[in-house]
Amino acid sequence: MPDPLHTRLKVLIVETLKLDDVLPEDIPDEEPLFGSPRFGLDSIDALELVLRLEKEFGLKIGSSEESRRALSSVAGLAAYIRAHPPGSPP
Amino acid sequence: MVTRLAMTAPPIAAAPRSPRNPGPSWGYGFLLWAERWWPRWFFRPMLMLGTWIAVARLPSQRAHSRAYLAVALARPSTLLDVWRHFFTFSDSLLLKLRAGRGVPVRCTLAPENAAAFDALVRSARPALFGTFHFGGSDLLGYLLGERGRRVSIIRLRVGNSDDTRLLGQRFGDKVSFLWINDPANLLFDLKAAIEAGASLALKCDRLEFSAKTESFFFLGARRVFPFTIYHLALLFDRPVAFCVAVPAAPPGDELDVFASPVFTPDPTASRSTNLAAARLHFQAVLVQLEALVRRHPLLWFNFLPLNPVAAVSVPTAPRPTCTP
């Protein structure tokens, strides 16, 4: 049974980054989101995704190190969101 | 509202492998001292001689200057053309150094697009200001501050950069710097600055640190240019305006400033519609810039390869309907 948060995040990633040739279910839970030739995402994409995540989940990602940790993979992102409920310090 | 950012420490000491300007470490200081204390009849010939030495000792810059001038002048360029290019750069550098030591530089906004640009600069709305390595444009970030607009200037931190240090000291209450040497950290500095309501000033002709590039007609070919400024504009709903400055005639401590139309993202339109409008805007900016480059070819200060001609796969703007 897939984790509903993982599924939601994959849809959000595909929508936000306009990954027209990628289906949400094609994104493996553990695959790195950035630095992967499969997705070809750059720093502006990272910024765009961070802004969307902040809006959707009430997060505050305040540094590049934190974003690297948060955006490591879908599973890493889900773990980050669970560890940082809305209103918690960044 | 503007938050002071990473500035405050203009480049003083460079790490061993950090980028630096060509020339000796004492070069800018000496130039500033000589310009101030030597009589003009002695200083100018010495500057001309020094420029010949620079032409001789900087083969890479000399080759790129010659290649660029051949395109801009539409004829094979000569060594004298290259020397004049270097000498024009020396004059521009001197203007910056003079401004940094407190000599007032007067700016006059050319009438085209002036009303909208001036209204934006004087408004409270945070904005993104683009410019190019052209003429006196290095001073524009500081001069926007003179008009009451505080900006964060995005720059590459280099070792021997006394012009930036002096300007930073003089205009420190009006400008801050975001250093692009570490792109990963820059991203969040940018985000913090924009979210805090800062206006940004950045140059949009060199590709090294740009995440997003697209191709546009410029100097007879489709060439690749940074396009990140428009992505930031869309992400943060900020207007974009460009301006460049050329020395007023007769040469002195005076600049004529040419502004572009203002691009304002439409929050009700789709991203692709906004990006299409952004491409048209930037192409119009480059048409305006090319007209100035053709009129003042020596003022394009990229002593680097000219923006590369686009490969077929790079996104492109529509061809402009008129060319200068």
Average pLDDT over residues B59-77: 95
Residue B251 has pLDDT above 50, yes or no: yes
Residue A48 has pLDDT above 70, yes or no: yes
Residue B88 has which token pair? 């024009």
pLDDT of residue B220: 92
In the CATH scheme, what is the code of domain A4-83?
Answer: 1.10.1200.10
Q: Do the chains contact at B184 and A63, CB–CB below 8 Å?
A: no
Residue A34 has which token pair? 């950035």
Percent of chain B with pLDDT over 90: 48
Contacts of B267 (CB under 8 A, 6+ apart): B237
Average pLDDT over residues A43-71: 83
At CB < 8 Å, which residues of chain A contact B? 18, 42-48, 50-51, 62-64, 67-68
pTM: 0.84
pLDDT of residue B58: 92
Q: Determine contact: B191 vs chain A, CB below 8 A.
A: yes
Q: Can you tell me which residue has the tokens 């401004």?
A: B99
Average pLDDT over residues B211-237: 93
Q: Tell me which residue in B184, B212, B235 faces A64 most closely, judged by beta carbons.
A: B184
Interface test with A, best of B187, B212, B231, B232 (most A CBs within 10 A): B187
Q: Do the chains contact at A44 and B271, CB–CB below 8 Å?
A: no
pLDDT digits (tens, 9 = 90+) for B93-130: 888 888 888 888 888 899 999 999 999 998 989 999 99
Interface test with A, best of B128, B188, B237, B272 (most A CBs within 10 A): B188
Residue B12 has pLDDT above 60, yes or no: no
Contacts of B179 (CB under 8 A, 6+ apart): B6, B155, B156, B157, B186
Q: Determine contact: B249 vs chain A, CB below 8 A.
A: no
Main-chain phi, psi angles of B174, to 5 degrees: -115, -20
Contact B72, B294 (CB under 8 A): yes
Q: Tell me which residue in A43, A50, A64 faces B211 most closely, judged by beta carbons.
A: A43
Shortest CA distance from A16: residue in chain B: B271
* Domain extents in chain B: 104-299
Strand pairing report for B175-179 and B106-109: unpaired
pLDDT digits (tens, 9 = 90+) for B158-195: 666 666 777 777 776 777 777 766 666 677 778 888 88
* Domain extents in chain A: 4-83
pLDDT of residue B2: 32
pLDDT of residue B21: 67
pLDDT of residue B19: 63
Residue B22 has pLDDT above 90, yes or no: no
Q: Do the chains contact at B187 and A62, CB–CB below 8 Å?
A: no
Complex-level ipTM: 0.82
Residues 194-213 of B with CB under 8 A from A: 211-212
**CA neighbours closer than 13 Å in the CB half-sphere of residue A47:** 24
Q: Do the chains contact at B271 and A18, CB–CB below 8 Å?
A: yes
Residue A29 has pLDDT above 70, yes or no: yes
Which residues of chain A make contact with B235, given a CB cutoff of 8 A? 44, 47-48, 51
Which residues of chain B make contact with A62, given a CB cutoff of 8 A? 188, 192
Please report which confidence band the pLDDT of residue B14 belongs to, taking 50, 70 and 90 as the band edges.
very low
Distances (CA, A) of B44 to A20, B48, B199, B243: 60, 6, 38, 30
pLDDT of residue B300: 95
Q: Tell me which residue in A18, A42, A62 faces B211 most closely, judged by beta carbons.
A: A42
